[in-house]
Amino acid sequence: MLEPRILEVRTRILKKNDELARDLRRRFVAARVLATNLVSSPGSGKTAWLQSTLTQLVTSGISVAAIVGDLETDNDARRLSQSGAPVRQIMTHGCCHLEADMIEHKLEGWSLADFEYLFIENVGNLVCPTSWDLGESLRVALLSVTEGEDKPLKYPGLFNTCDLALLTKMDLAIACEFDRQHALENIQAVRPGMRVIETSAKTGQGMAEWLALLQAKRHELPQSLELPWQDAPVA
Amino acid sequence: MHELSIAQRLVELALEHMRAAGAKRVVAVTVQIGALSCLQADPLRFGFDLLTQGTPLAGATLNVKVRPVVVYCEPCGQSVALPGIQNFECPICGSPATDIRQGRELDLESIEVMDAEALVPNIASVEEVPHA
């Protein structure tokens, strides 16, 4: 038979990642852990903000852990460890985003039930992390005032998948002639209704609002994801 | 360049489907890419051509169908396509567009398979055939 035949398969190209992410989400929810995926371009202040966050939570006696992704070096993990929280580094060796199986491997040996919050600091990149679900319940885009107000318009795909935006380095806003209104309009243009918190890791601006939001999101976690419809195969 | 990662998954997936169907090679692959998927067709093709070399997909055509963003507009009571991805408002009434119905696709739609190996003659073995 030399005639070609067409197979209509209709499958998600990232099906395996999606299935793994769904399993992770189920595990996080069952353990009552709020998993948060932080995405931004390199240098927007993810690590500084996360370090402040971890320090605040640890100081308040809240159990928290973090996984941080970079192409090379474990510098960020060492910085974040200063908070006292357990931190693990993923070195992707060139891979421009984190994938669900990398997270799964890094969780080995941790008892998720010991944590209330898990932060995943993605590789600094506003394009590639878009399509990779890591099982998070909260996806946060960080945009620093030094980057330019039109970043959301340049990277709408990523901003549109996020639940929340943090404007970082607000302490530099005046020096950078940051047009706050314009930045907020651009965020709303690509993701109408998205909540925005204005922050500074230096001054602590926005930290209380951020911690309150995390707490609320954790309380909003469903009791379980063990619903029959969740077991349907990912199409 | 995450297109290479995506191309890798695509090739693996196409091979799985080919084997499951008992076919021997793949001559065409059709994918659907949503406008919000942050994927470009050309680097995807580049990765696909690279990764398919020496596999049953070697030389296969990659058809890329780009899907625009479609949102459901509550006030208009209908689904509408957005002209771009920089302004999420209904092009008819201007309401904020939050109910996205299409545009995030990253799907393998179909593969075209052959039940026989490639008919390209193996030059090396042909040369070794002794003359009668």
pLDDT for B122 beyond 50: no
Residues of A in contact with B114 (CB under 8 A): 2, 4-5
Identity of the residue in B1, B2, B110 whose CB atom sits nearest the CB atom of A9: B110
pLDDT digits (tens, 9 = 90+) for B47-88: 999 999 999 999 999 999 999 999 999 999 999 999 999 999
Which residue's structure tokens are 């029959």?
A228
Q: Which residue of A has its CA nearest to B7?
A: A13
Kindly give the interhelix angle for A46-59 and A207-220, rounded to the nearest 10 degrees: 70
Q: Which residue of B has its CA nearest to A189?
A: B87
Q: In the numeric block, which tokens belong to residue A147?
A: 């980057």
Give the count of Cβ contacts less than 8 A between chain A and B: 114
pTM (2 d.p.) = 0.90
Tell me the CA end-to-end span of chain B in Å, nearest whole number: 54
Best residue of A5, A13, A150 to probe chain B, by most B CBs closer than 10 Å: A13
B5/A97 CB distance under 8 A: yes
B9 interface with A at CB cutoff 8 Å: yes
Q: What is the DSSP letter of B17?
A: H
Q: Please state the φ and ψ torsions of residue A187, each to the nearest 5 degrees.
A: -65, -45
Amino acid at residue number B17: H
Best residue of A5, A6, A8, A9 to probe chain B, by most B CBs closer than 10 Å: A9
How far is A227 from chain B, CA to nearest CA, in Å? Answer: 23
B72 interface with A at CB cutoff 8 Å: no
pLDDT mean for each 10 residues of chain A (235 residues): 88 96 96 97 96 98 97 94 97 93 97 97 93 96 96 95 98 97 97 97 98 97 68 48
Identity of the residue in B86, B96, B114 whose CB atom sits nearest the CB atom of A192: B96
Residues 6+ apart with CB under 8 A from A7: B17, B21, B23, B110, B111, B112, B113
B100/A128 CB distance under 8 A: no
For range B99-115, the mean pLDDT: 96
pLDDT bucket at B1, cuts 50 / 70 / 90: low
pLDDT bucket at B119, cuts 50 / 70 / 90: low
